[in-house]
Structure 1
Amino acid sequence: MGKSFVLFERQSKKKMAQTTTIETVTIVRPLKVIAFICGLIVIILMIMGLASTDWLMAAGWRQGLFLHCIEEGAKHPLPFNMQEPPGCYQSRDATYIRTAAALCVITLLTDLVATILTGLGLRSKDHHTKFKYYRFAVIVMALALVSIILALIIYPVCFAAELNLGNRTVWEFGWAYGVGWGAAIFLFGGVILLLCDKESEEIYYKERKIVQDNDSRA
């Protein structure tokens, strides 16, 4: 009788030692990673575009968002009736140049914020927190896209209105202006990637049973 009671007690202990744990497994969506990379590329492109004077070019003249440069041997009269010797100077006091520069700075800052939010979303292990980061990242990145598109439209359209003061027959948009369009393309891609990859389950749960043997071997 005593042996039967001990056996029953041991079996009960074994049953009580079985526990079920729930593990959380985080899935990193590839499209989110690509959107993050797009944001990083835009930062590099915008820094290049803001620092360059090759937005608009003619014979002996280069114009950027913050500086314009007069080359050695530039033909006179200079564009916009400038009288300075060769060198680089602060950009002309033209409203469209300042507006385009401000919009490009806004693009850089908002894209930086959107990229950081996307990175935080990738690192977060909480599903709801991830969703919030991605949602705000889309909004901010869309604002960056709108800003750069406006800058790229305003700059050439307003320049065309003062073309008669250019004193040049041939004008070209330089590589820096093309870099702006490149940034716009990557921003558009980042927004689309963040919007398309909207699976609700960034995290799934997996059950695992753990059986512990508490039998005393004494």
Structure 2
Amino acid sequence: MASPTTTIETVTITRPLKVIAFICGIIVIILMIMGLVSTDWLMAAGWRQGLFMHCIEEGAPQPLPFNMVNPAGCYPSRDAAYIHAAAALCIITLLTNVVATILTGLGLRSKDHHTKYKYYRFGVIVMGLALVCITIALIIYPVCFALELNFGNRTIWEFGWAYGVGWGAAIFLFGGVMLLMCDKESEEIYYKERKIVHDNDSRA
């Protein structure tokens, strides 16, 4: 004689917003590495300046910026406080964003909705810290450079692609933070239960 049985199926829901936030974190890692290794933050005729090095091109017009007397080549960054501060903040941005991206990835992998929510909560805090750091770095760099512009010995200065990459990283960080903060209430619902009635045949 057939008897009904109830099967409870658990379905895990992955929020697409969190996946996009994870992708944003990966993009920021790539952008920050590009910005840190580049010397194209600030440029003028025959001069390129990054966070860790500055380069003098062959045949650069004299006098060189900031009263430099070095021949053509690349050298460690000038001993300017704002350059060191911006470099330190960018490194902190990279490291904190790596942590935030890992936390977001762990949240995506977790099957327990309480653990998942904790990963996202800590991830948005750490990613928010990264956003604050890169924003401060991008502000103090041009502001402090303007204070020493009289020593630049150039009439035209421009910010290079690496500085723009920094703003790109800030935009993706902002997007990641917003995506991790969105949909908090429904984020608590990760499991749907369905009751399926089977007619079991007791015959062999």
TM range (shorter): over 0.9
CA distance in 1, matches of 2:191, 2:139: 42
CA distance in 2, matches of 1:141, 1:161: 31
Deviation, 1:146, is: 0.3
Question: 2:200 matched to which residue of 1?
Answer: 212
Q: Determine which of 58, 76, 80 is the counterpart of 1:72.
A: 58
Residue 172 (structure 2) pairs with residue 183 (structure 1): no
CA distance in 1, matches of 2:200, 2:182: 45
Question: 1:4 matched to which residue of 2?
Answer: none
CA distance in 2, matches of 1:20, 1:147: 54
Residue 142 (structure 2) pairs with residue 149 (structure 1): no
Runs of 4+ residues over 6 Å off in structure 1: none
What is the TM-score with the length of structure 1 in the denominator?
Answer: 0.89
Q: Determine which of 25, 43, 49 is the counterpart of 1:39.
A: 25
What is the TM-score with the length of structure 2 in the denominator?
Answer: 0.95
CA distance in 2, matches of 1:48, 1:203: 40
Question: 2:96 matched to which residue of 1?
Answer: 110
CA distance in 1, matches of 2:137, 2:146: 14
Q: Determine which of 69, 72, 77 is the counterpart of 1:91.
A: 77
CA distance in 2, matches of 1:144, 1:209: 51
Root mean square deviation, CA, Å? 1.2
CA distance in 1, matches of 2:193, 2:117: 17
Greater gyration radius: 1
CA distance in 2, matches of 1:130, 1:188: 21
Q: Which amino acid aligns with 1:26?
A: T
Deviation, 1:114, is: 0.8
Unaligned 5+ runs, structure 1: 1-10
Residue 115 (structure 2) pairs with residue 138 (structure 1): no
CA distance in 1, matches of 2:196, 2:73: 72
Unaligned 5+ runs, structure 2: none
